Structure 1
Amino acid sequence: MTKPVTGVLFDVDGTLVDSVYLHAVAWWHAFRQFGHDVETARIHRAIGMGSDKILDHLLGPDHDTAEDDALRAAHSSLYAVHWTALRPLAGARALLYTCAARGLRNVLATSASRPELEALLRCLDADSVISTVTSADDASESKPAPDIVEVALRRSGLSAEEVVFVGDSIWDVKAAGALSIPCIGLTTGGVSIAELLDHGAAAVYEDPQDLLDNLDEALTTAFRVALTTG
């Protein structure tokens, strides 16, 4: 029997913080440093995967992996330049505080590395209303594998039947769907409403503010989806 929604799992990059395109540019420069000409549009569509997946996805599973660690380090260094400029997306902080005020537990489940996550947390400045935080360092595989979501559930003490996931990429939708968790999509990562819905999002909103303005509707829709699929 499906339980009422008592927790919200949030992706962070592109969902709560405006960082997707900074990641895309950082990866583009990193690839160029190592002689790979990868179109920014392809990189953008892969953002949301962890660094353990993105290189195979963009360079092919048969690429020479000898430079993978150096490539990832280059991306991290290039992205770190922008950490002080990171900003929460419209309504992100208010959404977290409102969810907490309603008795919902806010859980962050992100493919960001721990150092990146710390920068994102400083940007959000909402530690008092975040109950559980996980990063790529806590899981053996990143999104679209559900590992990080499983870790988030285990650490928070919540079950898949009582949570919704909020994310901005198809990788978020896939990771949540692997555990039959309804996913609310946001278009803040540059993915269209149609594509998020096509990959299984229960509902899609423009940004955290739009979700906040329609929170009752969103949770009702997610709960209805959970009842249908549970």
Structure 2
Amino acid sequence: MPPLTVGFDLDMTLVDSRPGIAAAFRALTARTGVPVDADAAVSRLGPPLRVEIARWFPPEQVESAVEAYRELYPAYAITPSLPMPGAAAAIEAVHAHGGRVVVVTAKAGRLARLHLDHLGLAVDELAGDLFAEEKATALRAWNATLYVGDHVADMTAAGAAGVPGIGVATGPCSIDELESAGARAVLDDLTGFPAALDRMIRLAFTQ
């Protein structure tokens, strides 16, 4: 079996960033005067920030709103966010097998790093500002063995990288949607990941 490298998405896979992102959007509304429904925004996490911002701001203001949101983010979004159930144990399971953990996310890398550091989630590599097929670039560069995510676009990323996609039904996409997008397996959450990883490794050694 080649060296184990497991890729993880960030938002709603490793980190429940909904409370913090909602707070950041409310701060953005206070700064700009443009009303953003923060609860609606956090119900569809996954795509790049610009996609959500474009729902609320006219095209000529999208880039300035993205810049303002990212400026506000460290003060509002990091502390309220929580680890997803099983996140720390999932990372530890990979390391226990001598593997590497890489995070590939649509979130800006510097902001993703703040989340990981705040929550004490020790990962080996991090790539940000990548979505769907774009994530495959990082996954291939790090010779990922598989990719774990909560969004159908994460399963697209795994497919583009030529590795199995493992879905977790903790984000906006249902089990059926993740399976239809090509997930090799779908877990209720990351608490089931260590056992699933053990099964995959045993299977690899028996083939």
TM-score (norm 1): 0.72
Alignment partners' CA distance in 2, 1:175 and 1:30: 30
Aligned 8 A contact 2:136 2:160 in 1: no
Matching residue within 115, 123, 144 for 2:118: 123
Q: CA deviation at 1:105?
A: 1.5
- What is the root-mean-square deviation of aligned Cα atoms in Å? 3.1
1:199 maps to a residue whose letter is A
Alignment partners' CA distance in 1, 2:185 and 2:95: 21
Alignment partners' CA distance in 1, 2:164 and 2:21: 26
Q: CA deviation at 1:67?
A: 0.6
Matching residue within 11, 14, 18 for 1:13: 11
Question: 1:133 corresponds to which residue?
Answer: 126
Unpaired stretches in structure 2, ≥5 consecutive residues: none
Question: 2:171 corresponds to which residue?
Answer: 189
Alignment partners' CA distance in 2, 1:220 and 1:195: 28
1:178 match: secondary structure: helix
TM-score (norm 2): 0.79
1:132 maps to a residue whose letter is E
Alignment partners' CA distance in 1, 2:26 and 2:155: 25
Alignment partners' CA distance in 1, 2:36 and 2:106: 24
Percentage of pairs with the same residue? 27
Aligned 8 A contact 2:21 2:77 in 1: no
CA 108–198 in structure 1, closer or farther in 2 if over 3 Å, else same: same
Q: Aligned residues, how many?
A: 203
Unpaired stretches in structure 1, ≥5 consecutive residues: 137-141
Question: 2:64 corresponds to which residue?
Answer: 70
Aligned 8 A contact 2:105 2:135 in 1: yes
Alignment partners' CA distance in 1, 2:25 and 2:155: 23
Between stretches 164-173 and 109-118, larger displacement belongs to 109-118
Alignment partners' CA distance in 2, 1:109 and 1:54: 19
Alignment partners' CA distance in 2, 1:96 and 1:39: 30
Question: 1:139 corresponds to which residue?
Answer: none
Matching residue within 180, 196, 207 for 1:198: 180
CA 27–125 in structure 1, closer or farther in 2 if over 3 Å, else same: same
Between stretches 69-78 and 4-13, larger displacement belongs to 69-78
Question: 1:49 corresponds to which residue?
Answer: 47
Alignment partners' CA distance in 2, 1:37 and 1:52: 13
Question: 2:145 corresponds to which residue?
Answer: 163
Alignment partners' CA distance in 2, 1:31 and 1:202: 40
Q: CA deviation at 1:6?
A: 1.8
Alignment partners' CA distance in 2, 1:9 and 1:207: 16
CA 84–22 in structure 1, closer or farther in 2 if over 3 Å, else same: closer
